[in-house]
Structure 1
C-alpha cells in the first residue's frame, strides 16, 4: 500500500468526505459503534422502524377482497381467485407472496389498518409522498414529522437514523435532522486503519484546523480499540430491503441509542404487468420484514420494536388496459411487532361507493403516526402531527 503523505491527506477534503468524516447529517458505522458502547438505549425504550414503499403500492391486490364480486368485475384478469389468496377471514386475504405476514397475523403481531389516506388526495407521487412524510396535507411545509419530533425534543441526530445515503423528507426538521447511514458503510480494513492511525500523531507545524482533525483521529482510534465487538451484517444483494433491516437489527441488538429508523423499498408504480411485478416486490417485502421480526423475537430488545409499512397512495379500483393499475388514493397500512394488538383497524373501503373511481379514505394516516409516537416513542405527538389526532388502539 502506498505510504500516506500526512499533510496532503489532511487537506484532501474529498477523501475525508468519502470516509464519512464530513457532512452534518452523515453517520458512520464506527460512530454508532461508539454510541452503543458509551450511551446505549435504555432498556425498555420503544424502537420504531418506518418502511416506505415508494411508487404507490396497490393495496387492493395486497389485502385482497377475494369474496367481493365487485373486485373480480373491476379486474377480470388482474384479480386473484379465492383459492390463491392467504385468507385472513371470510372476506379478505393477503397476496400469495406474503406468507411471512400471514404467520405474523396468526401470531397476533400484525395490525392491518384499512382505508388509510388523507383529505383531498393528490395523485402525484411527489406531492402525495411529501404529504405522508411531512404529515401536513393542507399546505406544503419544509419539515418532516420525525424532524419535528427531533426539533421538539433535542438535537442528537443519532435518535433517528435513515438507512441510505439520502435523508427522506420525514427525517428533516427546521433545526435538526436525523442521521443518514449508508448501507455500504462498514468498519475500515485493518490495513486502512493502520495507515490512518498515523494521522493522529502530533506535529508542531500543524495549523489549528489540522491539529483539531488530528485530535479527532486520535479520539476515533481510541474508540475503535475500546469498542470493537459490533460487526455489520452481511450484505443481501438480491434484497436491498433485507440488507437495510439486517443493519437495523444489528444496531438494535447492540443498543445503539436510536428510537426511529427509516428504510425503504421502491418499484411499486405498477401501471403495466402489475401482477408479476408486485408479487415479486411483495415477496421481497415479506422475506425482509418477517425475517427481521423473527430475529427481533430472539433478543430482549425485540419486544420493544414496532414496524410501520406504508406507501404514498393506493391504486384505482379498475385495472387499466395494460394489466396494471393507475394512481389511486387510500390503501392499507401494516403495523407489526411484539407490542401490537393484531387484527383489522379502520373500515374497509367499499369497491362500489367510490370517489371518481377511487377508494374513499376511512382512516387519516396522522392518527396512525399519533399512536406510534405516543405509545412507541413515548413522546407528545402534537408537535409532529398537530392537534386533534387520536390513538387507534393498535398497541397494547
Structure 2
C-alpha cells in the first residue's frame, strides 16, 4: 500500500483528524504505554489521575449546602430538599447521583475541597480552562502546569498520558509534551480487515516519524476495541449499561497501571456540564456517569499509590436563571481520593449571601491544591512549576 493511499485511509478513518498526526510525536499507541518500563522510577512513586469536567459543573448542586436558607431562596425548582441529599454532615450533602463517592466519604477516602477558585475569575469556558490548565491566572501562558513538571523530569511523553481525543494543554511543556493515546468508542471501517490493518501498520518509504506513529496507533485501535469488549463483559460492569466515555478512559488507565506502566500522570475527562436550562435532572445524570466509574476505579486502586483529582473550570452562579438552569459562575469544589489522601472536608465554604456581583468568592486558590499534588504525589518542587506559589493544603 503506497504512502498516499495509506494517508488518505487514515484521514478518512478519523485517525489523523483525531490528532495523531497533528500532535506529531506525542501520539502513541496503547502498546507503547503498556510496554513503558522505567527503572529510574523512584521507589514508592505515586501516580496521578486527573479528571476534567468540561462545561463548568454546578458546585452548589454537587456539594449541596442544604441547610443554608440562601440555597433554596436563590434556586427555586433546582434545590434538593434535606431528605434528598446524601448527607455529609448537618449542613452539607452530596448530589443524589454521587452514591459511590458518598460511600467513599463515609470510609474517609474522599477529600472535598470547598470554595476553590482564583483571583479575578473569568466566566469564559476557554479562558477559565486555560487558567486552570496553565495555573497562571494573571496571564495564561503556552505551557500547562503538568507540562512544566514533565519538562523537569526528562520530557519522556509516556510519563504523562491523555486518553482524550487530543492532548489537553495542561500536558504541554516548553520543551516536551505528554502522549495522547487513541481511546473512546472504537468504530473501525468495514474494510479494516486484518490484512488491511497489517498493511496500514507497516512502515512506508518517505513518510515522517509522526505519520508512521499515526499508522501504528490506528492498528492499535483493534487492541483498544478488544480491551473494551473484555471490560464490558467483566463482572464489574453491568451487562445492560453502555459504557460512557469516562468508563472507557478509566478502564484504559486501569489496564496501564495494573500492567506496571511507568506513567506518572493520566488525564481523562467528562463533558456536558454547561447546563443553562433544565439543569437538575441533567446534572444528576451526568454526575452519576462520573460517580459509577470513579468509585469503581477508586476501589480497584485502593491498595495502590494512585491519587485521583476531579475539577471543573468554574462553578455556576448562585441564583438560578429563568430557564431552570444556572449561568457561568466562579468558585466550586474539587474532589481528591486515593493513596495518602485523608478523607473529609477542606477549605471554608463560600458565603451564599456575601457575593461578588452575584458570584461566590473563592476561599481556596486552586494552586494550593496543585502545590500539594506536585509535592505529595509527584515528588516535585511546586515552586519551579507554579512560579514560587507559596500556598499549600495538607491532605495527609
Give the number of equivalent residue pairs.
Answer: 364
TM-score by length of 2: 0.84
- Specify the alignment match of 2:137 in structure 1: 137
Matches within 5 A, 1:173-252: 173-184=173-184, 191-192=194-195, 195-196=198-199, 199=202, 232-234=227-229, 237-252=242-257
* Distance change >3 Å, CA 148–CA 194, structure 1 → 2: closer
TM-score by length of 1: 0.84
Q: Is residue 278 of structure 1 aligned with residue 273 of structure 2? A: no
- How much has 1:374 moved relative to structure 2? 0.5
- Specify the alignment match of 2:345 in structure 1: 344
CA contact (8 A) 1:233 1:250 kept: no
* Distance change >3 Å, CA 356–CA 182, structure 1 → 2: same
Bigger Rg over Cα: 1
- How much has 1:31 moved relative to structure 2? 1.3
- Specify the alignment match of 1:203 in structure 2: none
Unaligned 5+ residue runs, structure 2? 233-241
- How much has 1:381 moved relative to structure 2? 1.6
Q: Is residue 304 of structure 1 aligned with residue 292 of structure 2? A: no
- Specify the alignment match of 1:254 in structure 2: 259
- How much has 1:66 moved relative to structure 2? 0.7
CA contact (8 A) 1:151 1:173 kept: yes
Q: Is residue 366 of structure 1 aligned with residue 367 of structure 2? A: yes
* Distance change >3 Å, CA 368–CA 198, structure 1 → 2: closer
- Specify the alignment match of 2:321 in structure 1: 320
How many angstroms apart in 2 are the aligned matches of 1:199 and 1:76?
Answer: 61
* Distance change >3 Å, CA 40–CA 153, structure 1 → 2: closer
Structure 1 residues 246-265: Cα deviation after superposition (integer angstroms, max 9, x where no partner): 11011111111110110000
- Specify the alignment match of 2:84 in structure 1: 84
Matches within 5 A, 1:106-185: 106-184=106-184
Unaligned 5+ residue runs, structure 1? 201-205
Structure 1 residues 117-148: Cα deviation after superposition (integer angstroms, max 9, x where no partner): 00001111111111000000001311111111
Matches within 5 A, 1:50-89: 50-89=50-89
How many angstroms apart in 2 are the aligned matches of 1:33 and 1:338?
Answer: 22
264, 273, 285: which is aligned to 1:268? 273
How many angstroms apart in 1 are the aligned matches of 2:392 and 2:45?
Answer: 19
Structure 1 residues 311-339: Cα deviation after superposition (integer angstroms, max 9, x where no partner): 00001111111111111100011011132
Deviates more, 1:133-142 or 1:385-394: 385-394
CA contact (8 A) 1:40 1:255 kept: no
